[in-house]
A and B are shown apart, each in its own frame.
Chain A
């Protein structure tokens, strides 16, 4: 705690230099859990673009591909077209509700385990330990003069940073093109400029954010800690220093001399030493705490050494803290995990997911969009008949060429033809081929007798002429003289 005297000290500066954070190596269940999550998330990130998925000759064979050039999004057997972007919106809503769910149940678990900033910072801190040694060696090296050894170590470390950063940027672009082809093109200089620019930008941001800014991103830049603070309640899990058990602090020797005068905290500072954001958890919940739980591992191992029960620092809700402080026994953790709020979030999350899966299964992969040409709305033909023109957009979303029939219903004696045809050859329906996985545009001319209502609704229908007769239809107007445009 600062005193008023500090007003004349370093507080006079408008800018604060970053205090170095040199987290100590630690082992324990939470650390091993973090290892596992890091391995899984990095494997997903780096590996996914290389998974192959056979879709036949008319589509790419990459399992996950955001094909911006051709406006297609492939995810295993699901193919999404731009007009189906609401599935992506649905995924984003699920991600949002998923974060509400996780935050209300286990607090800032996203920050502590799965956030890319956390995962890459963790990775870079392991690089620090690999090159510079553990916490004390790192501090010595940071404060020491620029010897040949320090220069060599810094060079090697930054080279590894750069390699990881480059690999990170390189993996990103693989999601947007065929990965093996793009890798070849990238190294032979044939890839699009945007590929090189993207890799350069992501390499730079990974290098700076993971290598240097680290916890500063969480504390100064990221809005998520503020938002999450508002989403947590008294039943959300927090990494908590149980001050009612730990205070007052005192070493083991002092405690032996004065039995009963000290709490369990032996003031060994291990919780501070291992913290990747450099905070002291004993000051209470704070914005710098990403709840990675490494201090729990550190404290538990110390408690084991001095023969005191584990959990001086532990996941604990605000309600449980109050109960324990008052001498009561906190209810089991599943009672705080399964409560109405989390169940409602989970229900919403699951319902959206199931609804999306259901609609995905029900999709018709042959789609018709009709636009009535408005200039002119109708054309008077010399024999008294009336022609209306329409623009058809036929989406064949299957990965095979198809033949379809276009027909009209509800317009007596109508004849139709498309570009290249003529009124002489017009019939009541027409057949046309559709290329696989593509949109076919056509101008449809519809002729009907001149006597009839000025504006008449009728249907243009499309159906496939193969094993799957499902199709689409659209109600549209036929206009005759007398219509006010």
Chain B
């Protein structure tokens, strides 16, 4: 086919000699500067290979005289970002946690930083947005707190954890396994459940609940309070409200009385720095259930435990 080269009459250009059903291809010469731009890209390529990592070898690539690497760039960017955040982080570190809400900009920065840390460390149990998991992990967005919902108390809970083994300052309490250990028999448990459902306004008073009231007084009131109002010093939940971590129906309450869960949360002061914990506390506080500064009686309970571990 290539011997059919000819000069096209209309354009005056030589053809390539290829022809398909009468359609021919012009062999228009490329402009010379086009060739120069090809050479320029070749030169660029050589310079790039010298300056940057390029040739794959057995143990990595050639390094390039600039010493650039994507890991190095990431590290530099992370350092620059840490330096950029340093003033805010230092300010948060220097502010007592209870004073954070008085400084809205600092509080906002803490909430944002806490949200980021929450997504890494906390969502596995407490769920995205602190929604909690029914029958397993408490919601952090409601207005009911086992151990207290003001900033300092939340901070203490995150720092020391709940029932964290081998940690003196951890929050701890143990609800007896009334059923499993034979403290109450099945009938007595049913009576206590009736009483609890009466004080939480789920059932009408009955003979069973009347018997349960006496049992409650003897066995439960020491932690949960005489009226079932809960006891935050020992993390005993309020039994009169609408919030039931492990379920508020008869079977669930009976199961809890028979064999309580005594949920565990790890302490975080071994893994996170105090500023991050502070920001986490601010974030959890901001989720909608944060409580005002604690009443003096409650405030006294939290700091007492702190000295034992030497933690701030």
Mask, A427-454, CB within 8 Å of B = 1, is 0000000000000000101000010000
Query: Taking the complex as formed, is B5 at the interface, i.e. its CB lies under 8 A from any CB of chain A?
Result: yes
B127 touches A375 (CB 8 A): yes
- Stretch from B44-52, B82-90, B138-146, B209-217 that touches the partner: B138-146
A381 touches B30 (CB 8 A): no
- Stretch from A6-14, A119-127, A239-247, A332-340 that touches the partner: A6-14
B32 touches A382 (CB 8 A): no
B33 touches A16 (CB 8 A): no
Chain A residues with CB under 8 Å of B31's CB are: 15-18, 216, 220
What's the least CB distance linking B120 to chain A, in Å? 16
B6 touches A4 (CB 8 A): yes
Task: Indicate which residue in A11, A375, A379, A445 contacts B14 across the interface (CB closer than 8 Å).
Answer: A11
Query: Taking the complex as formed, is A181 at the interface, i.e. its CB lies under 8 A from any CB of chain B?
Result: no
Task: Indicate which residue in B7, B27, B129 contacts A376 across the interface (CB closer than 8 Å).
Answer: B129
Query: Taking the complex as formed, is A62 at the interface, i.e. its CB lies under 8 A from any CB of chain B?
Result: no
Chain B residues with CB under 8 Å of A419's CB are: 286
Binding site secondary structure of chain A: loop
B9 touches A376 (CB 8 A): no
A1 touches B29 (CB 8 A): no
Within 8 A of B (CB), among A1-50: 1-4, 6-7, 11, 13-18
Chain B residues with CB under 8 Å of A380's CB are: 139, 142, 242-243
Query: Taking the complex as formed, is B22 at the interface, i.e. its CB lies under 8 A from any CB of chain A?
Result: no
Mask, B1-31, CB within 8 Å of A = 1, is 0000111010011100000000000010111
- A419's nearest neighbour on chain B, judged by CB, is B286
Mask, B161-180, CB within 8 Å of A = 1, is 00000000000000000000
Given the interface pairs A7-B14, A382-B143, A423-B143, the reply to whether A2 lies near B33 with Cβ below 8 Å is no
B interface, size bucket: 35 or more
Chain B residues with CB under 8 Å of A381's CB are: 142-144, 242-243
Distance A4 CA – B17 CA, assembled complex (angstroms)? 13
Distance A443 CA – B33 CA, assembled complex (angstroms)? 60
> Number of A residues whose C-beta is below 8 Å from B?
35
B288 touches A379 (CB 8 A): yes
- B240's nearest neighbour on chain A, judged by CB, is A382
Chain B residues with CB under 8 Å of A118's CB are: none
Given the interface pairs A376-B131, A445-B288, the reply to whether A383 lies near B34 with Cβ below 8 Å is no
Binding site secondary structure of chain B: loop
Query: Taking the complex as formed, is A213 at the interface, i.e. its CB lies under 8 A from any CB of chain B?
Result: yes
B14 touches A18 (CB 8 A): no
Task: Indicate which residue in A1, A7, A14, A374 contacts B30 across the interface (CB closer than 8 Å).
Answer: A14
Distance A465 CA – B53 CA, assembled complex (angstroms)? 61
Query: Taking the complex as formed, is A387 at the interface, i.e. its CB lies under 8 A from any CB of chain B?
Result: yes
Query: Taking the complex as formed, is B35 at the interface, i.e. its CB lies under 8 A from any CB of chain A?
Result: yes
Chain A residues with CB under 8 Å of B128's CB are: 375
Query: Taking the complex as formed, is B104 at the interface, i.e. its CB lies under 8 A from any CB of chain A?
Result: yes
Query: Taking the complex as formed, is B197 at the interface, i.e. its CB lies under 8 A from any CB of chain A?
Result: no
Given the interface pairs A3-B7, A375-B131, the reply to whether A382 lies near B242 with Cβ below 8 Å is yes
B143 touches A15 (CB 8 A): no
A15 touches B14 (CB 8 A): no
Given the interface pairs A382-B142, A382-B242, A389-B288, the reply to whether A7 lies near B5 with Cβ below 8 Å is yes
Task: Indicate which residue in B32, B131, B132, B289 contacts A15 across the interface (CB closer than 8 Å).
Answer: B32
Interchain Cβ contacts under 8 Å between A and B, 23 examples: A2-B7, A7-B7, A11-B14, A14-B29, A15-B34, A17-B32, A18-B31, A18-B32, A18-B33, A213-B33, A220-B31, A220-B34, A374-B129, A375-B128, A376-B129, A379-B141, A379-B289, A381-B143, A382-B142, A382-B243, A383-B242, A387-B288, A450-B242
Interface, chain A (partner B; CB < 8 A):
1-4, 6-7, 11, 13-18, 213, 216, 220, 373-376, 379-384, 387, 389, 419-420, 422-423, 443, 445, 450
Besides A6-B7, A382-B143, A384-B242, 17 more A-B contacts (Cβ < 8 Å) are: A4-B6, A11-B13, A11-B14, A11-B27, A15-B30, A16-B31, A17-B31, A17-B32, A18-B32, A376-B129, A376-B131, A379-B141, A379-B142, A381-B143, A381-B243, A382-B243, A423-B143
8 A-B pairs with the lowest CB-CB distances in the bound complex, closest first? A382-B241, A376-B131, A375-B129, A16-B29, A375-B128, A2-B12, A384-B242, A11-B14
